[in-house]
Structure 1
C-alpha cells in the first residue's frame, strides 16, 4: 500500500477547505458565463431585435466547455461523497466539523486536545479522512 505524500495531503486538505465555499464559487462562475459584459447599445430609441438573447443550448455548451466551472463541479461532487462517508464514522465526522466547519480555526493539535486524543492519533485519523477523498478522486501515490 502506497502512502500519500505530504504535498498531496496538503493539497487534499486545501480542497476540503475550498469545499466550504464551493457553492458560492460555482454561482459566481455561472454568473460570469451567463452574463458576459457587452458594450452598451447605442440604439436608445428602442426597437425590436431579432436575436434571442440567451439560447439555452449555447449556455449549456459554454458551461460544459468551461474548465474552471467543471473543476469546481467535480470538487463539489467528490467532497459531497467524502462527507457522506465521514458521516458514517462519528469520530471522523467530528474531526471534519472541528477542522472545516467550526467558526474558530482549530489546528490538528487543538482538535487532539478537544477530542482527548494524542496528536499522533489525530494525524492518523486525518490521514484516513484525506485518503477517502484521494480514493474518490483517483489519486494514487
Structure 2
C-alpha cells in the first residue's frame, strides 16, 4: 500500500479519537439548525407530522454525520479485530494520554524499527479492510 494511503489511515484513527464529540456536535447543529420562519401553506398532510421522522431524515441526508458514523463503525470494527499487542500499540500511538511516535512505541515494546513498522502496516491494513479501501 502506498505511503499516502497509510498516512490517510493513520489520520482516520486520529480523527476517531474525537468522533463521539463530533457526532454529538453535528447532531446538535442538525437538530437546532437556524431556519427562517415561513408560513405554512396547504394542509397538514403535505408535511411530516412526527418531528422524530423529520430529524432522522435530516441526519440521513447530512454527509458529515454519515461520514462520522461510518468512521466510528470502521474504527471500532478494526480495533475489535486487534490482538492484545496491537491494542497496546494503538493506545500508545492514538490514546488520549500517550501520544508516541512509532519508534518510541518500538522502544517501549522492545521491537526493532522494522518490526514496529511491519506491525503498524498490519494494523492499518485491518482498518483498510474494514473501511473498504482494499
Matched, 1:30 2:4: no
Q: Please tell me whether residue 106 in structure 1 is matched to residue 100 in structure 2.
A: yes
Partner of 2:52: 56
- Higher relative contact order (Cα pairs below 8 Å, separated by 6+ residues): 1
Structure 1 or 2: larger helix share?
2
CA RMSD of aligned residues (A): 2.1
| 4+ residue segments displaced more than 6 Å | none
Query: 2:70 matched to which residue of 1?
Result: 74
Q: Which runs of 5+ in 2 are unaligned?
A: 38-43
> TM-score normalized by structure 1?
0.82
Q: Structure 1, unaligned stretches of length 5 or more?
A: 41-49
CA distance in 2, matches of 1:132, 1:66: 27
1:16-51 per-residue CA deviation (whole Å, 9 max, x = no partner) reads 1111110000000000000012469xxxxxxxxx9x
Alpha-carbon distance in 1 for matches of 2:19, 2:96:
17
Structure 1 residue aligned with 2:15: 18
Please name the residue that 2:80 is paired with: 84
1:114 shift after superposition: 0.6
Equivalenced residues, count: 126
Pick from 2, 5, 20: which aligns with 2:2? 5
Instruction: Give TM-score, length-normalised by structure 2.
Output: 0.87
Over residues 79-123 of structure 1, what are the superposed CA-to-partner deviations in whole Å (9 max), with x where a residue is unaligned? 01011111xx12111111100115132000100111110011000
